[in-house]
Amino acid sequence: MASSTPPPHYTLTTSKPYENHHFHHLQNHHQRNQRHNHPWTSQKVSLHRSSQTQPTQNAAKPPTPGPTTTTTTAPLSRNSNFPSLSSSKSELAADFSGRRSTRFVSKMHFGRPKTASTSRHTSTAEEALQQAVRCSGDDKCIDNILRSFESKLCGVDDYTFLLRELGNRREWSMAIRCFEFAIRREKRRNELGKLASSMISILGRLGKVDLAKKVFDDAVKEGYGNTVYAYSALISAYAKSGYCAEAIRVFETMKDSGLKPNLVTYNALIDACGKGGADFRRASGIFDEMLRNGVQPDRITYNSLLAVCSGAGLWDTARSLFSEMVYRGIDQDIYTYNTLLDVACNGGHIDVAFEIMVEMTTKNILPNEVTYSTMIRGCAKAGRLDRALSLFNEMKYVGIKLDRVSYNTLLGIYASLGMFEEALNVGKEMESIGIKKDVVTYNALLDGFGKQGMYDKVKELFLEMKSEHLLPNLLTYSILISVYSNGGLYWEATVVYREFKQQGLKADVVFYSKLIDALCKKGLVESSALLLDEMMKEGIQPNVVTYNSIINAFGQSETTECAADGESQIDHSPLMVLEDVAESKTEDTEQDRIVNIFEQLAADKSCHATIDTRGGQEILCVLGIFQKMHELNIKPNVVTFSAILNACSRCSSFEEASLLLEELRLFDNQVYGVARGLLMGDRANVWVQALSLFDDVKQMDSSTASAFYNALTDMLWHFGQKRGAQLVVLEGKRRHVWENTWSDSCLDLHLMSSGAARAMVHAWLLNIRSVVFEGHELPKLLSILTGWGKHSKIVGDGTLKRAIEALLSGMGAPFRVAKCNIGRFISTGAVVAAWLRESGTLKVLVLQDDRTHPPETMRIDHVSNFQTLPL
């Protein structure tokens, strides 16, 4: 059976110093190659419209802080030798700054077998511990126990043992009492220092970073806290709570006070970058610094760097790091592999992930429950439920016990798919083996039921979790509020929001983004703008996800918001509303503004004005959003590009679309070049760049990639570039962007946008036609699947089906809706073959570009200006 705690693999680093020169040579070579493969990446223009003085490829990067990372002449500088790791390739990934819910959950020291050399406590300490855990909840009790054992407890080792074990049992307040008891009885500074750094570490693991800081400050004040151990522990404590900036500040303070950071300090700091969602360059800079200071990285250093890649979605960087590790002779361990798998899965490279899993097994690093739940999540994310489930079976088969996370992962998959019976059964199974449902379990259920609009079930579950004495967390409230907003149940949303505030919880960027997205999806752009403003007032920086949601809202407003107080607002363009809000007088600071927004929505719900008063002004609102993104230096990602392309598809005029495309140009010249080239019918010249762009997109996870193809095709189709649309779709098919969509008997369109699907239908029928004309027989039954619309990223219910229905009947294609499945069009092979043989059929199948929007017109309008701008 695979052990969850394999024996440590000691690093060989120190005994295998590598050759710097060789190493550098390799990296430079590597870098040059990458540049060569991506000629366009060096043409990126500045993100700042005003400053065209910085046309370098780094202009789009946020400035890297600190003197250590900017000008590096040191021989080992990662900055000058590793830019290929972070900057040349995955521009499309940008910073998702993704965070994990586990970031506050500390991994305790449970089950870590203490080796004989490390267990220096006495059996008296164990006895004291037994008594202490028995009086859980009564803090004073620990004092009595300690007093009764005092004479027999043997020095600091016994006390640190007690602290650690109390920490493992989450008894932080008992641990603090124990700590205070111990320091009162200790005089030696060194021993006091041990107690303090242990205590800081324990509080850090429990997410009690403020308490950790207090212990640290007191220890410094009393003269025993100024040690590298205490500092490292504090840095780690901030890391575990996701406070990267704080961790770095502590690090600076440490250096100022004359202490020399050691390997552990640097490792903790790099870890802070990963957990705090920092740029890879930040971590990379720290790595440089440690090398410059003669501290050799070890396995944990690399594992932590890999974790940074995981957060930033840098699959290629992760691979390079892994090779670098091998090159330096640093052994990999289960952490290395699990983290690498995480990056692979996040990037949608599920097949590579399976290969890696085999590789680790051959190296005798056996997959554990973490490996499996990582892989399972990856499969589910890639839409491969079958593989996910077979991994669960495999897990049972090889004797790895499912733990809390594994169960929650499985339950979450079912819940997210609306398979509630299965989800609830998983819940029962986990409880049957003694794992109680926790907040994560309930969050998954609430989200799943909520997404299906089962509000009664949501209410019931929320009550149930409270009756189980589970404390709802930020995510719970975020889910509930978004679910209710999505359903238009603003009154319920208000109630939940009030409760959330009452609990003293503070919203974060994910909370706001989710809510903004919910409102955007309902076409409530103005309310979203209010929320955006509110979050910034709260000091929470919106990120690219936040902005993508707002861009997505462009042109999607189905209902116009009513003016709140009947008067002036009707005349306001959304842009003006944005400005108004920014300067708004805060008369009622007492009232929560989010509550205001909800109450307004709840009151307005009944009065849907059907006339869209925005007209062409909405474009100004969206342009304003882009302006803000530039100002805040928020890097767009591939989702942003898809959103812009989709917005173009919703434009009624070419001119509007040109304004949006101009924004695309300012963001990314490569994507712009391809989109514009294809739109102009300039396929011959732009196709090489298009292929290179598609290579980059393929790095993304499958749904992100297909969304991009969908968006690009839709835009081309919308503006009559149907052959270009078809070319893109076929390229997507060739690259398996939409899974297996195509056979002689069946065309599955359910993951495609309507433009992509239509272009695909033409291509498929042409293909079938050539089968017929080659003299082969068609399958008995032919079917075209459109699904129900719920999988599609941009198409609402039934839109795809209607589009295909219209297309087929327009062509006179003899397909009919299947009786048993309204998402399927069917026909018999014989009937279709007869139709394909008709003389007029070929003409309707071959796509022609629609010249209602001749490219000439466009060249006059805007495009000529684009070309004269300096790049």
Partner DNA sequence: ACTTAGAGCT
Q: Which two tokens stand for residue 729?
A: 């779709």
Largest CA distance in the chain: 103
| 218, 197 contact by CB (below 8 A) | no
Instruction: Pick the closer one to DNA by CB: 196 or 784.
Output: 196
d(CA 266, CA 288): 10
Instruction: Pick the closer one to DNA by CB: 544 or 666.
Output: 544
Residue appearing with tokens 């700091």: 269
Question: Least distance to DNA from the beta carbon of 825, Å?
Answer: 29
Full 3-state SS string of 424-459: HHHHHHHHHCCCCCCHHHHHHHHHHHHHCCCHHHHH
* One residue of 41, 57, 84, 409 binding DNA per CB under 7 A: 409
Instruction: Pick the closer one to DNA by CB: 29 or 260.
Output: 260
Question: Least distance to DNA from the beta carbon of 264, Å?
Answer: 4
Closest Cα partner for 523 from 606, 428, 601?
601
- Sign of the Cα torsion 26, 32, 33, 34 reads positive
* One residue of 107, 469, 819, 843 binding DNA per CB under 7 A: 107
User: Taking CB under 7 A as the criterion, which residues in 635-694 touch DNA?
Assistant: 637, 639-640, 643
Question: Least distance to DNA from the beta carbon of 51, Å?
Answer: 26
Dihedral, CA atoms, 578, 584, 586, 591, nearest 10 degrees?
Answer: -30
Question: Least distance to DNA from the beta carbon of 236, Å?
Answer: 3
**Is residue 849 exposed (0-12), middle (13-18) or buried (19+ Cβ within 10 Å)?**
middle
Instruction: Pick the closer one to DNA by CB: 320 or 640.
Output: 640
Q: State the number of binding residues for DNA (CB under 7 A).
A: 94
User: Taking CB under 7 A as the criterion, which residues in 461-480 touch DNA?
Assistant: 474-475, 478
Count CB neighbours of 564 within 10 A: 16
User: Taking CB under 7 A as the criterion, which residues in 308-327 touch DNA?
Assistant: 310
Question: Least distance to DNA from the beta carbon of 483, Å?
Answer: 12
- Map residues 137-176 to x or -, x wherever contact with DNA holds by CB under 7 A: --------------------x--x----------------
Only one of the segments 101-109, 565-573, 580-588, 804-812 lies at the binding site for DNA (rule: CB under 7 A); that segment is 101-109
d(CA 98, CA 86): 17
Tally the residues of the chain: 871
Instruction: Pick the closer one to DNA by CB: 752 or 808.
Output: 752
* One residue of 30, 48, 61, 99 binding DNA per CB under 7 A: 99
| 337, 325 contact by CB (below 8 A) | no
Only one of the segments 100-108, 288-296, 495-503, 716-724 lies at the binding site for DNA (rule: CB under 7 A); that segment is 100-108
Instruction: Pick the closer one to DNA by CB: 268 or 575.
Output: 268
* One residue of 5, 37, 144, 865 binding DNA per CB under 7 A: 5
Count CB neighbours of 775 within 10 A: 6
User: Taking CB under 7 A as the criterion, which residues in 433-452 touch DNA?
Assistant: 438, 440-441
Task: Give residues with Cβ within 8 angstroms of 271, minimum separation 6.
Answer: 236, 239, 304, 307
d(CA 803, CA 249): 57
Contact call for residue 545 and DNA (CB under 7 A): yes
Only one of the segments 94-102, 532-540, 644-652, 803-811 lies at the binding site for DNA (rule: CB under 7 A); that segment is 94-102
User: Taking CB under 7 A as the criterion, which residues in 692-721 touch DNA?
Assistant: none
* One residue of 174, 183, 300, 813 binding DNA per CB under 7 A: 300
Contact call for residue 83 and DNA (CB under 7 A): no
Contact call for residue 406 and DNA (CB under 7 A): yes
Helix (H) or strand (E) holding 306: helix 299-312
Task: Give residues with Cβ within 8 angstroms of 129, minimum separation 6.
Answer: 161, 162, 165, 166
Task: Give residues with Cβ within 8 angstroms of 396, minimum separation 6.
Answer: 402
Count CB neighbours of 497 within 10 A: 23
Pairing of strands 824-828, 746-748: unpaired
| 519, 531 contact by CB (below 8 A) | yes
d(CA 161, CA 198): 9
Instruction: Pick the closer one to DNA by CB: 334 or 763.
Output: 334
* One residue of 370, 493, 832, 847 binding DNA per CB under 7 A: 370
User: Taking CB under 7 A as the criterion, which residues in 336-365 touch DNA?
Assistant: 336, 338-339, 342
* One residue of 72, 88, 204, 251 binding DNA per CB under 7 A: 204
Contact call for residue 377 and DNA (CB under 7 A): yes
Only one of the segments 488-496, 539-547, 566-574, 742-750 lies at the binding site for DNA (rule: CB under 7 A); that segment is 539-547
Contact call for residue 91 and DNA (CB under 7 A): no
| 562, 609 contact by CB (below 8 A) | yes
- Map residues 825-854 to x or -, x wherever contact with DNA holds by CB under 7 A: ------------------------------
Instruction: Pick the closer one to DNA by CB: 177 or 299.
Output: 299
Instruction: Pick the closer one to DNA by CB: 61 or 109.
Output: 109
Q: Which two tokens stand for residue 724?
A: 């270009």
Residue appearing with tokens 């298009």: 690
* One residue of 334, 379, 621, 826 binding DNA per CB under 7 A: 334
Q: Which two tokens stand for residue 712?
A: 């690009």
* One residue of 86, 87, 90, 201 binding DNA per CB under 7 A: 201
114 in helix, strand or coil?
coil
**Partners of 828 in the β-ladder:** 781
Backbone angles phi, psi at 395, to 5 degrees: -60, -45
* One residue of 546, 560, 713, 841 binding DNA per CB under 7 A: 546
Backbone angles phi, psi at 21, to 5 degrees: -65, -45
d(CA 205, CA 307): 18
User: Taking CB under 7 A as the criterion, which residues in 109-128 touch DNA?
Assistant: 120
Contact call for residue 215 and DNA (CB under 7 A): no
Question: Least distance to DNA from the beta carbon of 250, Å?
Answer: 12
- Map residues 265-294 to x or -, x wherever contact with DNA holds by CB under 7 A: x-xx--x---x-------------------
Instruction: Pick the closer one to DNA by CB: 110 or 773.
Output: 110
Question: Least distance to DNA from the beta carbon of 139, Å?
Answer: 23
Contact call for residue 103 and DNA (CB under 7 A): yes
Question: Least distance to DNA from the beta carbon of 412, Å?
Answer: 6
Instruction: Pick the closer one to DNA by CB: 234 or 813.
Output: 234
Dihedral, CA atoms, 390, 395, 401, 404, nearest 10 degrees?
Answer: -50
* One residue of 4, 136, 569, 828 binding DNA per CB under 7 A: 4
* One residue of 197, 241, 670, 841 binding DNA per CB under 7 A: 197
- The full DSSP string for 572-625 is --HHHHHHHHHH---S--SS-HHHHHHHHHHHHTT--B-S-S-GGGHHHHHHHH
Contact call for residue 372 and DNA (CB under 7 A): yes
Q: Which two tokens stand for residue 228?
A: 């590298």
Question: Least distance to DNA from the beta carbon of 514, Å?
Answer: 5
Q: Which two tokens stand for residue 256?
A: 């100022």
User: Taking CB under 7 A as the criterion, which residues in 499-538 touch DNA?
Assistant: 508-511, 513-514, 517
d(CA 614, CA 577): 12
Instruction: Pick the closer one to DNA by CB: 320 or 441.
Output: 441
d(CA 138, CA 131): 12
Contact call for residue 8 and DNA (CB under 7 A): yes
* One residue of 198, 494, 699, 786 binding DNA per CB under 7 A: 198
| 232, 264 contact by CB (below 8 A) | yes
Question: Least distance to DNA from the beta carbon of 183, Å?
Answer: 12
Question: Least distance to DNA from the beta carbon of 43, Å?
Answer: 24
